[in-house]
């Protein structure tokens, strides 16, 4: 399979957290020229936070895309030239006041390769403890909650947690050796999801 040849790239829109490019592309095998649009974002980090007693630290915030208050894992944008683990540690402390005893990269995934250029780094923050107050940006309003692993699984099953990136983050955690959710419970969750 041959890749599209990008003949021209034109920026259509630019704001702090993303820009949009118009790509004029040619496909050599199909002899077709077509326009595509790419959303350029900084890379993101997403952190599943596990406390010293193996509870999960989650955050609640109002998301304007769907106009809902959502329950999520800690997340944020990476700053320019910032290493992913440093971003994860910074966001964890800023959003929750927690600090990880150990930070483990679970996975690096493409956000949406069809139209987005960035990646998401999924981290697991082990043995996390609260050491400070939140240090939020002006536009952030975040409540911190702590739930058991079973409660988080129920929230996914019931649809209380319905953000695809958060479900991915928690699924990576539940499939890891650090989760104490039995595999039968995970099979039950996914079979229920498929039948619904």
pLDDT at position 195 = 46
Q: Are residues 25 and 52 in the same domain?
A: no
Residues 89 and 159 in one domain: yes
Same domain for 31 and 72? no
- Look at residue 63 and tell me whether its pLDDT is greater than 90: yes
In this structure, are 16 and 53 located in the same domain? no
Rounded distance, CA 82 to CA 42, Å?
A: 11
pLDDT in tens, 141-173: 999 999 999 999 999 989 999 999 999 999 999
Closest CA to 174 of 162, 159, 185, 164: 185
Please indicate, yes or no, whether residues 31 and 60 belong to a single structural domain of this protein: no
**Domain check: are 99 and 127 in the same one?**
yes
Q: Are residues 34 and 51 in the same domain?
A: no
> Residues 16, 86: one domain?
no
Provide the pLDDT confidence category of residue 196 given band limits of 50, 70 and 90.
very low
pLDDT at 191: 66
CA dihedral 76, 17, 139, 127 (to 10 degrees): 10
Spatial CB neighbours of 16, under 8 Å, sequence gap ≥ 6: none
Domain co-membership, 48 together with 33:
no
Report the alpha-carbon distance of residue 120 to residue 45 in Å, rounded: 5
Q: In degrees rounded to 5, what are phi and psi of residue 24?
A: -90, 120
- Its domain, for residue 148, covers 44-195
- Average pLDDT, rounded, for the chain: 93
Number of domains forming the structure of the chain: 2
Residues 79 and 154 in one domain: yes
pLDDT range class, residue 182, cuts 50, 70, 90: confident
Q: pTM for this structure?
A: 0.91
What's the maximum distance between 2 C-alpha atoms anywhere in the chain?
Answer: 60
> Rounded mean pLDDT of 124-140?
94
State whether 86 and 31 are in the same domain. Answer: no
Backbone angles phi, psi at 35, to 5 degrees: -95, 135
Q: Tell me, yes or no, whether 131 and 112 share the same domain.
A: yes
Q: How many residues does the chain have?
A: 196
Find the CATH number of the domain harbouring 149: 3.90.79.10
Q: Which residues contact 112 (CB under 8 A, 6 or more apart)?
A: none
């Amino acid at each position: 399979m041959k890749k599209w040849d990008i003949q021209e790239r034109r920026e259509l829109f630019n704001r702090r957290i993303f820009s949009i490019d118009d790509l004029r592309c040619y496909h050599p095998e199909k002899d077709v020229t077509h326009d595509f649009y790419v959303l350029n974002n900084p890379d993101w980090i997403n952190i599943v936070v596990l406390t010293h007693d193996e509870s999960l630290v989650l955050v609640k915030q109002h998301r304007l895309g769907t106009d809902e208050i959502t329950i999520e894992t800690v997340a944020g944008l990476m700053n320019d030239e910032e290493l992913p683990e440093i971003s994860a540690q910074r966001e964890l402390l800023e959003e929750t006041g927690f600090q990880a005893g150990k930070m483990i990269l679970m996975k690096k995934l493409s956000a949406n390769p069809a139209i987005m250029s960035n990646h998401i780094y999924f981290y697991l923050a082990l043995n996390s403890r609260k050491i400070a107050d939140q240090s939020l940006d002006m536009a952030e309003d975040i409540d911190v909650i702590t739930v058991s692993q079973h409660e988080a699984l129920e929230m996914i099953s019931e649809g209380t947690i319905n953000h695809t990136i958060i479900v991915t983050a928690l699924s990576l955690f539940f499939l890891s050796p650090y989760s104490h959710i039995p595999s039968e419970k995970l099979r039950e969750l996914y079979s229920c999801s498929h039948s619904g």
